[in-house]
Structure 1
């Protein structure tokens, strides 16, 4: 993290308490979604809603997952909203669940228009004790610090000048103003509730479902990330599920030290500028005008996202059999929006992303195979040091340095690798 600043909090977590809450929240947190889509052309919303109801068989019961994990299908301003029941996140299971939902939506001709969003809910059913305020404060500030990058990562438009939907329903205007260093989270919650500028439920990170006790801790704990755009790629939705889980667990880690700050004043002001470029009400119909998002701005956002993924990389190791990080790394390079701008359809987008998740019988995916091939053939050679080789490999494979290190450790376990000074490259020992 660049220029990390940790400020004091009145009740930081003890290391043992942090371990407890990290384990507890990982066990009890379910991540549900609201998938918004528009009907096919020339199909009435009522008829489409009935078809979705029939196909996805909502359970209408939080305690019953049902065939596709769908709670309900309801009318929405853009068309219909499919409410997906939260479940303890396991990548393969979620990927399969979303594939079954998206498969029907693609067959039916459902459209992810600019009026459509994809909301992620962190839910904690059965949690019997209040969440320490310092955890929520850190999550709030992590989202604030990386808000433009998160908005870019979850953008879904199909034109460079309309990468994101309109700001109205996922506004950052209040969020950027309120710091948990100056206010308590309960005071921020109250301010958002009484705001005349942004309706409470339309905030970038929606706190309306939280309730606070006398000490300022939180129960029930229910947060909504409203900023992601519509997304009909199952692997992308699954990876983003774990992004939000990782942010929550990282907030627990940071709670041992105090509250993470959003950064120094000039970088923070730049973050707000980037947010305004990505999320505004200046586009046609329901879009933001993103014509000011140049290639240089995209590179700036990508660097911020690499920083975020580096920060979260140890947390992703907490998840079992989970390829979310390589998928997210691919989305840093090309979010759904840029892939759609390049002319890829949803099937092609899903295929490319799912390739990042497929493991063969010895546990390697396609990126590992690419790296193995380069090492076997010796075509990445004549580097002055291992560090220089790693920087080059990470760039070529679109990996974060930490993700590359993790993959090299895996390769070393399977085949053994060593640095060859003469060739200036890594070589296998078996």
Structure 2
């Protein structure tokens, strides 16, 4: 991070507390979406809506995921809105789910227009204890500090002069004004609620669903990231889900030291200037006028986006079998908006991003499953060393030493193993 400034606080978390909250929020967080889609040309909206609803088979209940993870399909100003139930992020599961949803949209002629948005909701259902206010303060300032880069990463317009949709429904005007350096998060929440400038639910980073206990801590924790533009890329939606989770976990880490500042005055003013270039109400047909976003500005945004990803990189290592970071790196270099400006259509964009997704097909053979079962049940213990253990297991399973080594390596790519010296065996770490 360039020129980091940490604001001192009396309520910092101890390392043990930070580890607790990071683990708890990782386990408790679910991320859902609201996908806005425009009606195909020449098709009446009710006909399109019924076709999408029939194909996606919404469950109608938050308690039932259904075949595609869809809660319902509703009428929206731009056409329709598909509400996707929040679930704990799993790259493979989300990628499959959003692939299915995007295929249904595409097959029925659904379009992405500048009137369409993509909203991400991070919820913590079942969380029974209030979240320390300092965590939310850090998350608020992380989003403020990197707002231009986040807008750039999630932009999907198809013209250089219209890279993003208009500001109206994802406005940053209030967010940039309110700092946890001088206000509590409850104060900020109240200011947003009373704002005459931006309707509460239309903030760039919407915190209207938060609740506060007497101490100022937060319960429930429900956040909405409203700024992403609509997309037909399943890989992008999946990657963004992990980006928003990683931001929350980074906020926990930073809470051991204080609250991150948005940056020095000159740097912060430049950030606001670029954000205004990206997000405004001056474009045609519900777009922002981004004609002022020159190649030099794009370079600044690219550098800032890579700085953000570098800051979050260690958090992505927590997510097993996950290529979200690689997808985000590709988007930092060339977001969907710039790909569309270069002439790529939606199938090609998804293909380009999906190339970054190298999920192994863990199709284990019978002998490998037998090996995993033996490790799970601690069948082969009291060996002098890992080498002795491998030789013993190879004999038990009628495998050569080279074969057992290869199969153990394959299993380790799926699930981490370690040598337990006390038991004299290999064990799974989780």
Instruction: Please give the TM-score of this superposition, normalised by the length of structure 1.
Output: 0.84
Q: For residues 21 and 359 of structure 2, what CA distance do their matches in structure 1 show?
A: 31
Distance in structure 1 (CA, Å) of the matches to 2:336 and 2:276: 20
SS in 2 for 1:4: coil
SS in 1 for 2:41: coil
For residue 279 of structure 1, what is the aligned residue in structure 2? 279
The aligned runs of 1:3-402 (5 Å cut-off) are 3-359=3-359
Distance 1:360 1:27 in 2: 24
**Structure 1 unaligned regions, length at least 5:** 363-409, 415-430
Q: 2:321·2:359 contact (CA, 8 Å) conserved in 1? A: no
- Distance of 1:282 and 1:208 partners within structure 2: 27
TM-superposed CA distance for 1:90, in Å, is: 0.6
Q: Secondary structure at the match of 2:213?
A: coil
> How far did residue 10 of structure 1 move?
3.1
SS of the residue 2:151 aligns to: helix
Once the two structures are TM-superposed, the CA of residue 52 in structure 1 deviates from its matched residue by: 1.2
Cα drift, residue 358 of structure 1:
1.8
Partner SS, residue 71 of structure 2: strand
Structure 2 Cα separation of the partners of residues 200 and 17 of structure 1: 32
Residue 373 of structure 1 corresponds to none
2:151/2:228 contact within 8 Å kept: yes
Judged with a 3 Å threshold, the aligned counterparts in structure 2 of structure 1 residues 181 and 344 are, in CA distance, closer, same or farther, namely same
TM-superposed deviation, 1:361: 6.9
> Kindly tell me: are residues 361 and 210 of structure 1, through their superposed partners in 2, closer, same or farther at Cα, counting changes over 3 Å?
closer
> 8 Å contact 2:249–2:315 — kept in the other structure?
yes
Counterpart-to-counterpart distance in 1, 2:256 and 2:357: 33
Alpha-carbon displacement from aligned partner over 1:159-185 (angstroms, at most 9, x marks no partner): 110000000000000000000110000
For the 8 Å contact 2:323–2:359, the answer to whether it is kept is: no
Q: Structure 1 residue 11: deviation in Å?
A: 1.1
SS across alignment from 2:223: strand
The count of residues paired between Structure 1 and Structure 2 equals 366
Give 1:242 shift.
Answer: 0.4
SS in 2 for 1:75: strand
CA–CA distance in structure 2, aligned partners of residues 123 and 338 of structure 1 = 31
Question: 2-side partners of 1:80 and 1:359: how far apart?
Answer: 32
Q: Normalising to structure 2: TM-score of the pair?
A: 0.84
The 3-state SS of whatever aligns with 1:52 is helix
Q: Is the 8 A contact 2:174 2:192 kept in 1?
A: yes
Counterpart residue number, 1:396: none
| Secondary structure, counterpart of 2:212 in structure 1 | coil
Cα 1:311–1:103 shift into 2, 3 Å = same
> 1:360 deviation in Å?
5.2
- In structure 1, what is the equivalent of residue 369 of structure 2? none
- 3-state DSSP class of the match of 1:71? strand
Q: Post-superposition shift, 1:50?
A: 1.0
Q: Secondary structure at the match of 2:33?
A: strand
Displacement after TM superposition at 1:12 (Å): 0.9
Alpha-carbon distance in structure 2 between the residues aligned to 1:27 and 1:87: 11
Classify the secondary structure of the residue corresponding to 1:31.
strand
- Rounded Cα–Cα distance in structure 1 between residues aligned with 2:10 and 2:60: 42
1:18, distance to aligned residue in structure 2 (A)? 0.6
Question: Per-residue CA shift, 1:216-261, capped at 9, x if unaligned?
Answer: 0111110000000001100011001000000000000001111000
Instruction: Summarize deviations over 1:45-64 as a string: whole Å, max 9, x none.
Output: 11111111111111111010
Please identify, of 350-359 and 279-288, the stretch whose mean Cα deviation from structure 2 is larger. 350-359
Q: What RMSD in Å do the two structures reach over aligned CA positions?
A: 1.5
Separation in structure 2 between the aligned mates of residue 359 and residue 24 of structure 1, nearest angstrom: 27
C-alpha displacement of 1:359: 4.1
Tell me, what secondary structure is at the counterpart of 1:66?
coil
Contact kept, 8 Å, 2:165 with 2:287, in 1: the verdict is yes
Structure exhibiting the larger radius of gyration computed from Cα positions: 2
| Cα distance in 2 for residues equivalent to 1:123 and 1:112 | 26
Tell me the distance in 2 between the aligned counterparts of 1:287 and 1:332: 21
For the Cα contact (< 8 Å) 2:35–2:81, is it kept in 1?
A: yes
Note the alpha carbon deviations across 1:174-211, whole angstroms, 9 max, x for none: 00000011000000000000000000000000010001
